[in-house]
């Protein structure tokens, strides 16, 4: 499994919004500059996040975007599944029930199911708040005497 640029950038954008959650709305230009991501690329990600009620958008002078919920309510797994689609390591796990004609006799199916489970549980155990806190902790410990 490989996470695409779209998934990585969506996650970075959501982290930026989480870091500024109490500040208010952020423009795409601000997010793009702070994250060193093309504004045009972010414009392609925004509709996916908006359609799924991950963001609140407002237009006008003070317009921009902010998280629709608290940072602790978003998991990395949710964001990546939204932007990447299914995180299954093999195509036969993309549908439920598994429609692969070899599913009953496949000697490796348990392996892929286990990997899929571990990946989803891990990504669902990390919230935006966790990532923001980790970044704060990292920056606080980065001092020079």
pLDDT in tens, the chain (145 residues): 789 999 999 999 999 999 999 888 999 999 999 999 999 999 999 999 999 999 999 988 778 999 999 999 999 999 999 999 889 999 889 888 888 888 889 999 999 999 999 999 999 999 999 999 998 887 776 656 5
Picking from 5, 87, 8, 21, the residue whose alpha carbon sits closest to that of residue 54 is 21
Please tell me the distance from the alpha carbon of residue 46 to that of residue 65, in angstroms, as a whole number.
Answer: 9
For the record, the structure tokens of 6 come out as: 């779209």
Q: Is 99 exposed, middle or buried (0-12, 13-18, 19+ CB in 10 A)?
A: exposed
Query: What pTM, to 2 d.p., does this model score?
Result: 0.88
Which CATH number applies to 5-140: 1.10.1670.10, 3.40.50.1100, 3.90.76.10, 1.10.10.10? Answer: 1.10.10.10
Q: For residue 35, give the nearest of 54, 9, 55, 56 by alpha carbon.
A: 9
Distance, CA of 8 to chain centre: 7
């Amino acid at each position: 499994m490989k996470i695409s640029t779209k998934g990585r950038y969506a996650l970075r954008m959501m982290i930026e919004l989480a870091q500024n959650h109490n500040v208010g709305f952020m423009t795409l230009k601000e997010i793009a500059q702070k994250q060193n991501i093309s504004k045009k690329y972010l414009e392609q990600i925004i509709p996916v996040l908006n359609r799924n009620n991950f963001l609140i958008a407002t237009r006008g002078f003070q317009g921009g975007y902010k998280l629709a919920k608290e940072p602790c309510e978003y998991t990395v797994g949710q964001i990546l599944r939204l932007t990447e689609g299914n995180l299954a390591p093999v195509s036969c796990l993309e549908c439920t029930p598994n429609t692969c004609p070899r599913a009953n006799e496949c000697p490796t199916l348990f392996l892929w199911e286990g990997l899929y489970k571990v990946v989803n549980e891990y990504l669902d155990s990390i919230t935006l708040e966790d990532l923001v806190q980790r970044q704060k902790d990292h920056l606080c410990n980065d001092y020079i005497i």
